[in-house]
A and B are shown apart, each in its own frame.
Chain A
Amino acid sequence: MKAGRYGIYGGQYVPETLMSALIELEETYTRVREDPDFSSRLSWYLHEYAGRETPLTFCENLSRDLGCRVYLKREDLLHGGAHKLNNTLGQALMANYMGKSRLIAETGAGQHGVATAIAGAVLGLSVDVYMGEVDTRRQALNVFRMELLGARVIPVTAGTRTLKDAINAAMRDWVANLRDTHYLLGSCVGPHPFPMIVRDFQSVIGVETRRQILEREGSLPDMIVACVGGGSNAIGIFYPFVGDAGVALVGVEAGGEGPESCQHGASLSRGSVGVFQGALSYLLQDDDGQTLETHSIAAGLDHPSVGPEHAMLKDSGRVRYEMVTDAEALQAFRYLSRTEGIIPALESAHAVAFALRAADELDRDGILVINLSGRGDKDVVEVAKHNGGVE
C-alpha cells in the first residue's frame, strides 16, 4: 500500500502550494511519535488536564431495556464535552514542536472549534476558527464559548455556509500562512497525513475501552457502535479492535430526513467514490462530480464526505455502516436522558438510536459498547425547537 493510502483511498489531492506543509507535518509526526518527551507531555495533558481516562459506564437501565450488557464509553466527560480534545491537544503540541504560533480550525457543531480554542489557550497559541454562517446561528452557545476561550470565530458565507465551506476557508487561509500557522483539522479526513494523525490521537478511546472491558468482563465486546460524520470518534474506538474478528463494528451515519429523501449525510451508505478536500473517499456528489448539499439535525454529521480509512473498512466489510434518521436520533436523545440521566450530543444520539434497533442481534450475555462521543448541552435549544418548546 502506498504511503497515505487506505486500500485505494486517501492520498494528497491538494494544490502544489500546500505540499510543503503536508511534508513538514508528516516529518514532524514521524519524529514526535518516537519522542518520549512528546509522549509524556501529551500524556500529562490528556490525564491531568483533560480528565482521561474516561469511564466505561455499565448502564443497568439500558441493559434491562435492551436485553444485553450495555456500556457507554464516556467521551462526553472529557474536558470540553466531547472526544475532540484528544486530537486538538496532540496537534497543538505538534504545532509547538514545529514552531508555529497560530492555529486555524474548521468547525461544524462547534465542538472541534471549542476543543481547538481550549488547546490553543493552554498551550499559548492564537486560534482562528472558521465556521459556516448557518452553523454560527444554530450553535450560538459554542460561538460564545470559543470567544470566551480567546479564539476568533470567522463566519463563512460562501457556498452552503456549513462545515464543508468552513474547511474550504481554512484551507485557503492555510495556503496563505503556512509559515506561522498550523491547520488543526478536526476529523480523520483531508489529505495525508491528517487521517493518520487524527486516528492515532483518537485511538486512545479504543485502547482504553479494550483495557476497561477486559478488566470488567474478561472478554472483548460483541459489538461496538459509534456515529460517523467525518468519522474521528468512530475510527478512534474501532482502530484497536479491527484485528478482532469477533467484535462487530458498526458506524452510524446521518440518515437525516430519511435515506430516500436526498436530505442526509450518509456518504458511505449512499455516496460514491470521489476526490474531495484532499482525499479519495466516499462522497455525496452528482454525476459530474459536484458536491451535493447534505442535511442532518446533528451539525457534526452534516458533511458530504468521510475519512478514507472508513471507505476502506466499508469495502472490506470489516465495519458495517448503517443510517439513523433525525427523528430516531431525537427519540434516542430523550430516551438516554431519561433512562440513564445522560444527555448525549445529537451526533452520539445516532449511535444510541442504532443500538436500540440492533439489540435484538445480541443475547442476554452479549456485550454492547456505545461510544458516547459528546454531551448534549450544546443541543438542548435545538431539540427544544423541535419539541415546539422554545423559539
Chain B
Amino acid sequence: MSRIAGAFFRGRPVFIGFTVAGDPDMGRSFSAATAMIDAGADILEIAVPYSDPVADGPVIERAHHRALMAGIRPVDVFLLLRKIRDYAPDLPLILFTYYNIVYRRGVDRFFSEATAAGADGVLIVDLPVEESEEVVPSARRHGIERIPLIAPTTSPERQRAILQEASGFAYLISLEGVTGERDHLPSGLAGLVSAVREKTDLPIAVGFGVSRPEHVRTVLDAGADGVIVGSALVRLIEEHMDDGPGMREALRTAIVSLRDGFSSSSRT
C-alpha cells in the first residue's frame, strides 16, 4: 500500500497541511514543516515557488514571492523534501506545482527527481485533464501518484474523465475562487462530495478556504475523508517569520485547534 493510501486507510479523518518550500528561507521552511508534522499533520503538501501563481490568493502568493526572493530553486525544493523525508520516513509528501516548472525541467526529469527526493504524489494545479497526455505515462513510470483536482464547476463528464486517470486521493476545491481564508464555506459541499464519491474509490479531501475548526467540521460532515489547510498556516509563517519558536508554537496551536473540528464532527 502506498503511503498516501495508508494515511487514509487508518479510517480516521486526514489532516493535510500546505506550505511553500523555502518560505521564508530553507532553514525556517524546514522548521515550519517539522512543526506541522509534530502537531499531527497526516500529509504534507509542499509547493514549488513560482513567479505567477494564478490559482493562489494573496497570502500564498506572498509566500511564493518570499521563497523566490530567498533564491529557492527547484533543486532546493528537492533538497528540502529529502530532509523532510528523513525526518518523517512514513509521512506522505505531495509536491504542489505550476506546470511551467515541470515543463521547463522536462516532465520525466522532474518526476524522477521528485521520486528520488521522497515525494509520493504530485499535484499540477494548472494542468487540466485535456493537457495531461504527456504527464500521465511519465508519472506512472516513476511510481508517483497524480492528485486530481475537481472544482464545483466541473461537469459530471469531466469528473469521470479526471478520476479515471487519477490516483492518491481526489482533491475537491470547495469554492469558486483562488486559495485563501474565508468566513464561510459554500453550501452544497455535501452534494459535491457525494457526486464524486459515486465515481471513484479514491479517498476525498477538500481544500480552498478551509481555515477554522468549524470549516473542518463542515467538510467532514459533508462526507469527505480529509481536509487541506493552506493559507491559514502560511499566514502564521508570515506573521511569526522572525521568531522561530513562536512560529512553531503558532503552527502547533493552529493545527491542534483545527483538528478539534475532527472530534466534534458527527463522523468520528
Contact = CB atoms under 8 A, between A and B. Distances in A.
Given A13-B127, A288-B104, A175 B177 contact: yes
A17 B155 contact: no
Given A159-B65, A289-B101, A12 B57 contact: no
Contacts of B65: 159
Interface string B101-123: 10111000000000000000000
Contact of B150 (A16, A178, A275, A291): A16
The interface size bin for chain A is 20 to 34
A16 B74 contact: no
B104 A289 contact: yes
Contacts of A54: none
A28 to B, nearest CB: 16
Interface stretch (B48-56, B189-197, B218-226): B48-56
Interface centre among A17, A20, A285, A287 (most CB of B within 10 A): A17
Given A171-B54, A289-B105, A16 B178 contact: no
Interface residues of B, number: 37
Nearest to A192: B130
Contacts of A13: 99, 126-128, 131
Contacts of B66: none
Nearest to B125: A15
B173 interface: yes
Contact of B178 (A159, A164, A176, A280): A176
A159 B51 contact: yes
Nearest to A168: B54
A89 B105 CA distance: 41
Interface centre among B61, B104, B149, B155 (most CB of A within 10 A): B104
A20 B158 CA distance: 9
B176 A175 contact: yes
A12 B178 contact: no
Interface string A151-180: 000000011000010001001100111110
A39 interface: no
Contacts of A255: none
Contacts of A164: 52
Interface in A240-294: 274-278, 280, 283, 285, 287-291
Contact of B58 (A158, A171, A276): A158
Given A277-B52, A277-B54, A11 B153 contact: no
Interface of A: 11-17, 19-21, 158-159, 164, 168, 171-172, 175-179, 274-278, 280, 283, 285, 287-291
22 contacts: A12-B128, A13-B126, A14-B128, A15-B54, A15-B151, A16-B150, A16-B153, A16-B173, A17-B153, A19-B153, A20-B154, A159-B51, A275-B99, A276-B100, A283-B100, A285-B100, A285-B104, A288-B105, A289-B101, A289-B104, A290-B50, A291-B51
Give 5 closest A-B pairs by Cβ, nearest first. Answer: A289-B104, A176-B177, A20-B153, A17-B151, A289-B100
